[in-house]
Every structure is written in structure tokens, then in C-alpha cells.
Chain A
Amino acid sequence: MNDEAVISDEDLVLYYYDDGLSAPAKKVISDAVGSDGALARRYARLSAELDALPDPEPLPPSAATVERWHSGFDAISAPRRGTVRLRRHLPLYAAGVAVAAALAIGIGIGALLGGGTPPGSVGRTAPEVTAFTDYTAGSRSRFLRSLEVHFRDSRASLKALEQDSADSRRLRLARLIDDNRLHQRAARQSDADRFARVLRAFNLVLSELAAEDLSAEEVEALRTRLLFELDVMLTKLSREPSEGQDII
């Protein structure tokens, strides 16, 4: 694309969606729309048409599909008759995303899984915590920085929980559990067992939050508790000695 005379409607559509244009191309269009009244009016008309388009409906799964996944989860999580049930949902604690992804079929993720991709892996990359294979003082510092980012992300995710549907909530919580588990491994490798223990404790609360039979008040209480504990750990992390200093 060289000048505004050859800016097609297709270019404007790509510009509208901020998709498929290089940075220089976007700048050319942006400058042209800003300086050419006719082009600006054309873009405004196109934008109005695109704004008026309805959002695509998510693919609803069949009832049989949802039942299949629920029966799979029930098979591993149903309390055996006569046992005292632990407060936490340990199968979810252990299984994390794989199970929650199964439950998330109900929110349209099933469409993404149609190609046979293993549950839980679609659209996600694992957090960057797998590089801590050999402990060094530098490893610990890198791990602590990564953990700080993870705790901040977790806070944001927990705050978003209140807008979630039940299925979205379970998927969000299962992803948090999975990310915590990855950081646990990194913590062990980085001589940071204290943080590994906290992450395991967090996962117990997260698996409790995923229970279907919680009232809104119980959910809020658990969420508030986790937010407080995350804040405490963020404060603690801010006081951790930096690379090269003695480790407390």
C-alpha cells in the first residue's frame, strides 16, 4: 500500500479489526483517514456497518456431550458411600485443566476441541516457568520475579471471577490450579519451598471454590481470602533479597 488513493474497502476493514496489516500500513491508513475528508467519511460509514453486525452465536454442545464429560468427572470426584468428604475437591486439585476443560464443553470450547486436541491445551501456552532446571542464585531471582507476575495475574483473574458463569468459573479456577502447579515445580527447583507450600495451599482453596454447591456468600468469602493471601505474598516477595544477597 503506497498512498491513500489505493486504500480499498478491504484495507479499511482490516484497519477496523486491527488485523492483518503491518504497522507501516496501519500508519498510512491512519494518516490518510485523518487528512482526507472523503476517506474519513467512507471509513465512518464502513465502521457503522461493521458495528451493527451481530456477534456470532457460540456453538452450543449437545446435551449428550455435556453429560459425557460430567460423567467422566463424576467418576473420579464422587465421594464413595460412607467416606467423610474432605473439604477440598482433591480430584480437581490433582487433575486441573484436563478435567475443567471437559466441563467447559458447555461454554463452546468443544468446538475448538473438534480436531482432537487434548483437553486443556487449546489456546494456552504454559507459563514461562520451565527453565528452572538447575538451581543457581540467579534461578531463584528469576523464579521470584516470575512468581510475582503470576501472583498479580492470579489477583486479576480472581477479581474477574464474579462475572463468570459456573462453567467459566470452573475453567478459570482449573487454569489457576494448573499454573500454580507449574510454579510449585519451579519453586522446588529454585530452593523456594516456602513458596511451593503456599502455592499448594492456594490450590486447595481454589479447588474448594470450584465446588458446585457453594453459595454466593461462600464463593465471595473464599475469593476475598485468596485475594488477601495473594496480597500478603506480594508484599513478602517485595521484601525478598535480590540476586547475590543472602537468601532468608
Chain B
Amino acid sequence: MPNVRLPAALIAVSLCGLAFGQEPATSEDDALRIAALEALMDAPPERALPPVRRVLTGNFSDEVKEGALFILSQIEGPEALELLLEFARNENGPLKSEAIQVIGIAGHTDGIEELKSFYANGDAEVRNAVLEAYLIADRPDAVYDLALAADDEKELSQIVEVLGAMGAVRELRQLLGQVDVTEGLIDAYAIAGDFESLRALAADAPDRRSRVRAIEALGMIGSDEAKDALVTIFRNADDRDIREAAVSGMIIADHEEGVLSLYREASSARAKGELLEALRAMDSEALWDLVDEALSEED
């Protein structure tokens, strides 16, 4: 779409076109209206706000209203914020969620503060939108507060996933000890790249399932220290589940060297067989030499 500058009169005409109870626009009409909205970025706030208000309160397609919302996110001033909040409060459905997300883009302190209320009174879609708004506004502290107040594991998992996406390692670590260790929390550490927390959980998680998950999640970190940790975990493992988790982690991390060295160290045929299978899954080029070796030794 070209960066077209339209005269104010044309903007007004194109945005008024279907404002009075007619059917929503065709896609060509929408394209013109969206171009007109884009041109509003050249206008000062007092000139831009009235057409935006007209679009948001008028009979325009969702696509045009979404465009207007984004424009609104870039207009400074209390009037723009009030228009945005009013729209978010009164609207329902996807546009409400969109408006909530735009509150995050706009970043006004008062607007961000009101997100708490949207979350408390909203359905699942609205709550999703609030989490996204906090992510956009980079407010891990607010997301952390929601995590502490989560009603159940489902909700907590969703919230901590957002903290993971935000890279909010400090907030995620603060949660440990305050909420149950769940797979969601472990995955969030992996998403956030928090090797230290995963290593601690791999050694000392409150239950076996969490420990196994943490070991596998080290594979997603994929750093050299994570790879070394997986090899060490395998070597020190006292049961099969832990060994398998370590191998899974190494496969995910593509740590072929680690698996190879463990293969060479392994003394039992069973252990060698499991590691050989892992090398096969990793499409290791060293595999065929090892297969030749294994098949060249007669009983």
C-alpha cells in the first residue's frame, strides 16, 4: 500500500461514506478508508481524533475499525485515551479484545491500570487480550500479580507462559515457592531461557513428573551449559525415566557429541541400544560406524 497523503476533505468524505446505517463497506471501499486512516498520521491530534471517533462509533467493517484503533494508539493526549477506553468498555467480541491490546500499545499509565479491571470482569478472550496488552506494554509485574491470584492450574499455566515469552526470569523465579510447580511453569522457564531454574528443578523438583519435564526442557535451552548438564544428568541417573528424559533433552538440543560420548562410555548392551536409537533419531552420521562396530563383533 503506497504511503499516500490525502487531503483532509477526501479523508472526511471517505470516512463518512457509510456512517449512517448503511451496509458495511465492500473491500474496495475499505481499502480507501484504510488509506484515509493512514493519512491521519499526518494530522495533529485535534484534527485526527474526530474521524477516528466517527469510525469507531459508526457502521464500518471490523477491519476499518481495527485500523482506526491502531491509529488511535499513536495519537497522544487524554482525549485519545478516553476514546480508546470508552470503546474497549462498551464493545464486545473480537473488537473489544483488539481495543484492549491497543491499550497496551498506547502505553498510557491510566490505561494500563484499567487492564486489571478488564481482566477481573472478562471472559477467556478478554483475559487473553489483557495478557497480550501487558506483554506489549512490558509489564511483567502486572502479569506476576495475576499469576499469584490465578484460580486454577489452567489459568496459571496461561499466565506464566506469557511471563516466559516476556523473558521475565525474575518474576518467574519469584513465583517458585509461591505457586505449585506445574508443567506450565517449567515450560515458561524454558521459553524464558532460564537455565539455572531448570537445572535446579531437574535436580530437586517436588515430584518425579516435574523433574522429568525440567530435564527435557533443558534441551530447549540448548546452550553448551545445558548440554553439559544433560550429559551429567544421564551419567548420574539412577533410573530409566531420568535417563530417557536426559536423552530426549539431548535430542532436542541436537547434542550429538554428548550422546556419542555416552555411547562410548556405556557398558551394557541395553544402554548402548538406547543411545544408538537416539543417534538414529538425530540422523547422526557417526551412526553407521557404530552400527558396523556393533555388527562386526561375533558372540
Q: Shortest Cβ distance from B227 into chain A, in angstroms?
A: 11
- Bin the interface of chain A by size: 35 or more
- Bin the interface of chain B by size: 35 or more
- Tell me the nearest residue of chain B to A93, going by C-beta: B165
B-side contacts of A72, CB under 8 Å: 219-220, 251-252
Q: Shortest Cβ distance from B62 into chain A, in angstroms?
A: 10
Query: Interface of chain A, helix or strand or loop or mixed?
Result: helix
Query: Interface of chain B, helix or strand or loop or mixed?
Result: helix
Q: Shortest Cβ distance from A41 into chain B, in angstroms?
A: 46
Q: Mark A162-204, 1 if CB is under 8 A from B, else 0.
A: 0000000000000000000000000000000110111011001
Binds A, one of B79-87, B129-137, B259-267: B129-137
B-side contacts of A119, CB under 8 Å: 254
CA distance A119 to B183 in the complex (A): 26
Residue A5, interface by CB 8 Å: no
CA distance A70 to B217 in the complex (A): 15
A-side contacts of B251, CB under 8 Å: 68, 71-72
B-side contacts of A83, CB under 8 Å: 154, 157-158, 184
> Given A87-B128, A204-B136, A232-B74, does the pair A65, B162 have CB atoms closer than 8 Å?
no
B residues at A contact (CB < 8 Å): 1, 3, 34, 38-39, 41-42, 63, 66-67, 70-71, 73-74, 76, 101, 104-107, 124, 128, 131-132, 135-138, 154, 157-158, 161-162, 164-165, 167, 183-184, 187, 190-192, 216-217, 219-220, 222, 251-252, 254, 280-283
A residues at B contact (CB < 8 Å): 61-62, 64-65, 67-68, 71-72, 75-76, 80, 82-84, 86-88, 90-91, 93-95, 98, 118-119, 193-194, 196-198, 200-201, 204, 221, 224-225, 227-229, 231-236, 239, 248
